[in-house]
Structure 1
Amino acid sequence: MTIPKNTVCLWFDGTALEAAQFYAATFADSAVGAVQLAPADYPSGRQGDVLTVCFTVLGMACLGLNGGPVFPQTEAFSFQVATDDQAETDRLWQAIVDNGGQASACGWCKDRWGVSWQITPRALTEALADPDRAAARRAFEAMMQMGKIDIAAIDAARRG
């Protein structure tokens, strides 16, 4: 087993394998790798319980640690996923929200494990970087009114 130089470690309360399997089924270039069982009892589990799960999300190396309820997920960490079109934006947003997740504002949502996701169409990123600062402002103001990002509405706002 090759261990990556840098890995994102996500803390779960006993559900790391379930989360990794969902991510692998939902996102391209994602997979579940090694599952390590606890060699002895620990504060939040027993010998033989799933302790860690190696997985990738969109090619990014991650480790799910079943550390217990002490450190819940917060919006201070999120995955930002650049989508190519409205269909991809809708599919990923719905996969997260419709499977026990929660919608939020400006393209953010949270999965059922509390991990935050920014489902961000490339069209939004381009609109916010528009050298015409008035167009960028209109796109930004439109985004601020949205939950899931509506690319057509962003494009319309950008055009004025």
Structure 2
Amino acid sequence: MAKNTICLWYDRQAEEAARFYSTVFPDSDVKSVQRAPSDYPSGKAGDVLVVHFTVAGIPCMGLNGGPAFKQSEAFSFQIATEDQDETDRYWNAIVDNGGSESACGWCKDKWGVNWQITPRALTEALGAGGEEAKRAFEAMMEMGKIDVAKIEAARRG
């Protein structure tokens, strides 16, 4: 077991979410599913309590804690992509599976978890600094899903 694990709170869909992530992102899988050994106030014996999984190599634990807490943009997975095809593949997988689009490369999956699908071209452009970074940033501010060709065009001026 990893020394540090991200814990994500779900109402009751931790296993469904973990299995979805394992089909979308490389180096992702479901490690274990722990079930309630007996009935408890909001569930019964056999209900999924905790799911241990990885997302792009990052150890996670999904906790089926009930409806008390919701996901927010205060936490997101940031997935670096190599090109437009990879960006499209991850973005579309999340959005087309009941998720929603947001701005500047962000989207939300159907369980409320936020994702930043970030092409390396954008990261490199912003890291260049100066006018080049400013142009790329201004282009990004107009986007939902990041368009690599537009970022590269903005870099060139």
Q: TM-score range by the shorter chain?
A: over 0.9
Query: What's the counterpart of residue 26 of structure 1?
Result: 24
Correspondent of 2:48 among 47, 50, 55: 50
Shift in CA distance, 159/43, structure 1 to aligned 2, threshold 3 Å: farther
Query: What's the counterpart of residue 107 of structure 1?
Result: 105
Query: What's the counterpart of residue 159 of structure 1?
Result: 156
Q: Percent identity?
A: 69
SS at match of 2:27: coil
Correspondent of 1:15 among 13, 27, 33: 13
Superposition TM-score, scaled by structure 2 size: 0.98
Letter in 2 for 1:151: V
Deviations 1:122-143 (A, max 9, x none): 0000000114x00100000000
Equivalent-residue separation in structure 2 for 1:153 and 1:97 (angstroms): 21
Equivalent-residue separation in structure 2 for 1:78 and 1:113 (angstroms): 12
Give the CA deviation at 1:47. Answer: 1.7
Letter in 1 for 2:142: Q
Give the CA deviation at 1:43. Answer: 3.6
Residues 34 and 53 of structure 1 are in contact (CA less than 8 Å); yes or no, is this contact kept in structure 2?
Answer: yes
Query: What's the counterpart of residue 36 of structure 1?
Result: 34
Equivalent-residue separation in structure 2 for 1:40 and 1:33 (angstroms): 22
Unpaired runs of 5+ residues, structure 1, are none
Equivalent-residue separation in structure 2 for 1:141 and 1:39 (angstroms): 53
Equivalent-residue separation in structure 2 for 1:94 and 1:7 (angstroms): 27
Give the CA deviation at 1:46. Answer: 1.6
Aligned residue pairs total 157
- Superposed, which structure 2 residues align to 1:113-132 within 5 Å? 113-131=111-129
Give the CA deviation at 1:42. Answer: 3.0
Give the CA deviation at 1:45. Answer: 1.9
Query: What's the counterpart of residue 142 of structure 2?
Result: 145
SS at match of 2:135: helix
Equivalent-residue separation in structure 2 for 1:15 and 1:53 (angstroms): 10
